[in-house]
Amino acid sequence: MSQANTVADFLPLDVDGLPGKLAASVKAVPQLARLMALLSTKLTAVQWKAFLHTLAGKVAGLRDEPLTPILAGAWKDIRKVAEAIEITRRSPGRVETVAVADHTIEHEQKPTLEVYLDGSRVEEIPCSLSLEIELRGLLLEIEGGTLRKMTTGEVQLKGTFKLADVVLAEKQLQPIAIPGEIPLTG
């Protein structure tokens, strides 16, 4: 069971091999094909490869999303948790522990990579990150109107990371280890 603090921990990528994967995906990704056609008049083949290396670095960087803010953002709107936040805000020093029923958090992000040529945007490459997190036996500690700590029994995670329609990383639902107690802010 792997321990995951960020999405990248759960969805690892072969960053060194990613430029080659992007080059092989040019036909499947119309944005990359257009970009290649445009830049072929400006760049040499070596420079195009250098560009793909830079692009790969940026694509891989999109997974550097910490998991806990995603979780905390989802829990804040659960009714019991919202009530505890309000109570502890009114009573400084009081600590509330909330047991949250088993649930699944579905999270989706669609960032884009914008490519600029001499300051003008010439292409926009859509990416998507989908996560499904199953949590059982969750305990939340709330103090002063904020989530302070979480303790989980079992966590399973499933995720997909795509560049346009090309899947770059994917993992089926599998248990992951989240540190027994995670301090939360917010």
User: Which residues contact other proteins by CB under 8 A?
Assistant: 39, 41-44, 47, 50-51, 54-55, 57-58, 61-62, 69-70, 73-79, 101-121, 124, 129
Q: Which is nearer to other proteins, 93 or 120 (CB)?
A: 120
Q: How far is the CB of 77 from other proteins (least distance, A)?
A: 4
Give the chain's length. Answer: 186
Cβ-based neighbour number of residue 86 at 10 Å: 13
Query: Nearest Cα to 128, choosing from 55, 63, 71, 64?
Result: 63
Q: How far is the CB of 100 from other proteins (least distance, A)?
A: 9
Q: Which is nearer to other proteins, 22 or 95 (CB)?
A: 22
Strand, coil or helix: what is 119?
A: coil
Q: Which is nearer to other proteins, 4 or 7 (CB)?
A: 7
CA 155, distance to chain mean position in Å, is 16
76 and 89 Cβ atoms separated by less than 8 Å: no
Nearest 10 degrees: CA dihedral of 117, 125, 10, 53?
Answer: -40
39 and 51 Cβ atoms separated by less than 8 Å: yes
Q: How far is the CB of 137 from other proteins (least distance, A)?
A: 12
Q: How far is the CB of 110 from other proteins (least distance, A)?
A: 5
Structure tokens, 135: 């949590």
Q: Which is nearer to other proteins, 92 or 114 (CB)?
A: 114
Distances (CA, A) of 137 to 70, 111, 126, 140, 174: 18, 32, 36, 10, 16
Q: Which is nearer to other proteins, 76 or 171 (CB)?
A: 76
Q: How far is the CB of 67 from other proteins (least distance, A)?
A: 12
